């Protein structure tokens, strides 16, 4: 394929042609310096590209196909995510149903009903005497705030005057972040 001649360029970068380094020779900037040193004329590069009618039609079909398919793919992925969330919800609901069916089967047993009536409602059979124990904890397990209060008063030796003086002097000598306003 024959190339068209490039139109004359009036840019000053085109008039000065840098010399290419020889093979095997490195410039002082390294390999990057030699690439940056060359001036590229975009018009010359663009004039070498030939676009036939077939290539233009194919390029437009690719762009059109991308424009049509991208929203469709997004919708597809969104629907797949919703389906997986709904499947998970169905699985959780089925597990809850199975648990409730097991609970219903337990209530068909007369021994379970008797146990629940005794524990929840404190029912007893005729002739039995129920005993309810409110505080069945060991005394060692009781929290300290429930200890008995002593009837005896105990006096602690403390002098409040030195503590007050220490507090006042430390407050007076402390450096604050806010200075007093000037008068």
Q: Which residues contact 132 (CB under 8 A, 6 or more apart)?
A: 122
- pLDDT one-digit tens code per residue, 44-88: 777 777 778 888 898 999 999 888 888 888 889 999 999 999 999
pLDDT on residue 170: 85
Q: Phi and psi dihedrals of 179, rounded to 5?
A: -90, 155
Q: Is the pTM of this model over 0.75?
A: no
Residue 50 to residues 22, 60, 85, 96, Cα–Cα distance (Å): 32, 16, 51, 68
Q: How far apart are CA 161 and CA 3, in angstroms?
A: 105
Q: Are 47 and 9 in contact (CB under 8 A)?
A: no
Percent of the chain at pLDDT exceeding 90? 26
pLDDT on residue 108: 93
pLDDT on residue 150: 77
In whole angstroms, what separates CA 165 from the centre of its chain? 53
pLDDT on residue 10: 54
Ranked by mean pLDDT, which of 19-23, 82-86, 159-163, 170-174 comes out on top?
Answer: 82-86
| Largest CA-CA distance found in the chain, in angstroms, rounded | 120
pLDDT at 19 over 70: no
pLDDT on residue 157: 75
């Amino acid at each position: 394929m024959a190339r068209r001649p490039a139109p004359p360029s009036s840019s000053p970068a085109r008039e000065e042609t840098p010399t290419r380094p020889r093979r095997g020779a490195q410039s002082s900037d390294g390999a990057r310096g030699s690439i940056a040193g060359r001036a590229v004329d975009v018009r010359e590069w663009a004039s070498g590209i030939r676009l036939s009618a077939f290539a233009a039609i194919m390029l437009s079909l690719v762009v059109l196909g991308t424009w049509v398919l991208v929203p469709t793919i997004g919708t597809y992925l969104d629907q797949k995510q919703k389906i997986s969330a709904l499947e998970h919800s169905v699985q959780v609901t089925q597990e809850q149903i199975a648990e409730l069916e097991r609970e219903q089967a337990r209530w068909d047993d007369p021994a379970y009903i008797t146990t629940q009536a005794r524990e929840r409602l404190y029912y007893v059979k005729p002739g039995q005497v129920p005993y309810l124990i409110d505080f069945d904890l060991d005394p060692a397990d009781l929290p300290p705030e429930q200890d008995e209060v002593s009837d005896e008063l105990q006096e602690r030796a403390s002098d409040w005057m030195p503590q007050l003086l220490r507090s006042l002097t430390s407050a007076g000598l402390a450096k604050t972040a806010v200075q007093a306003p000037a008068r």
